[in-house]
Structure 1
Amino acid sequence: MANKVIPVLRIFDVTKAMEFYKDWLGFQVDWEHRYEDNTPLYMQVSKDDIVLHLTEHHGDCCPGAKVFVETTGLKEYHQLLLDKNYKYNRPGLEVEPWDAISVTVHDPFGNKILFSESIKG
């Protein structure tokens, strides 16, 4: 049995998705698929071990999902995001009750990604 989970997130505008996921968060586009020109896009983006599928297809999923990502180096990544001065999102760095720090980002389509790093000694 495979042990990899890939969340599928709904998007509505490819340009906005690229601005958010690629330009701001630093994901790379691994591949894109359209059945033909002028049809919805389905694509894979990744950053390190994080893999997401983004889809314009209305039947694939609903907007408003939340993805929880366990990570390391969160303070540095948070500062990198702030330094990019993305006008639509300036996330805070939060201390969580589960002995972690977190950064939550909201994409332009109502989805959220919560990056979390354990602070247990």
Structure 2
Amino acid sequence: MDWEHRFEAGLPLYVQVSRSAAVLHLSEHHGDGSPQGVVWFPVRDLSALHKELLTRPNAPMRPGIDLAAPGGPTMQVIDPNGNILRFAQSPSAQ
């Protein structure tokens, strides 16, 4: 485990685990993962990924970029199983 965060004792836990360049955030917060999961992906160029997704004719939705998201600009996509994929701008993404 790289780090963990709780606002105070007894509240839900939020942690980061990683191996090599793969990073996974795990959350106990209400709405994160019930019944589906939430996966966070750091990306170097969020605008380029956003533009690429908007060109796909079979995209189930046309995601926007939330510039005020905690941790920086973030785009959410819902996969066919209802999982939320969060892509966040990160200058250190590889």
TM-score range, shorter chain: 0.5 to 0.7
The Cα of 1:4 is off from its aligned counterpart by 1.9
Return the alpha-carbon distance in structure 1 between the equivalents of residues 61 and 37 of structure 2: 17
Aligned to 2:73: 101
What is the identity percentage for the equivalent residue pairs of Structure 1 and Structure 2?
A: 26
2:41 maps to which of 64, 69, 75: 69
Aligned to 1:88: 60
TM-score computed with the length of structure 2 as normaliser: 0.55
Find runs of 4+ consecutive structure 1 residues off by over 3 angstroms. none
- Please tell me whether residue 114 in structure 1 is matched to residue 86 in structure 2: yes
RMSD after superposition? 3.3
For residues 75 and 109 of structure 1, do their structure 2 counterparts lie closer, same or farther at Cα, with a shift above 3 Å needed?
same
1:4 maps to which of 9, 19, 44: 19
Structure number with higher helix proportion: 1
Structure 1 regions of 5+ residues with no counterpart?
6-48, 52-61
Structure with larger Rg: 1
The Cα of 1:67 is off from its aligned counterpart by 0.5
Structure 2 regions of 5+ residues with no counterpart?
1-16, 24-33
The Cα of 1:99 is off from its aligned counterpart by 5.1
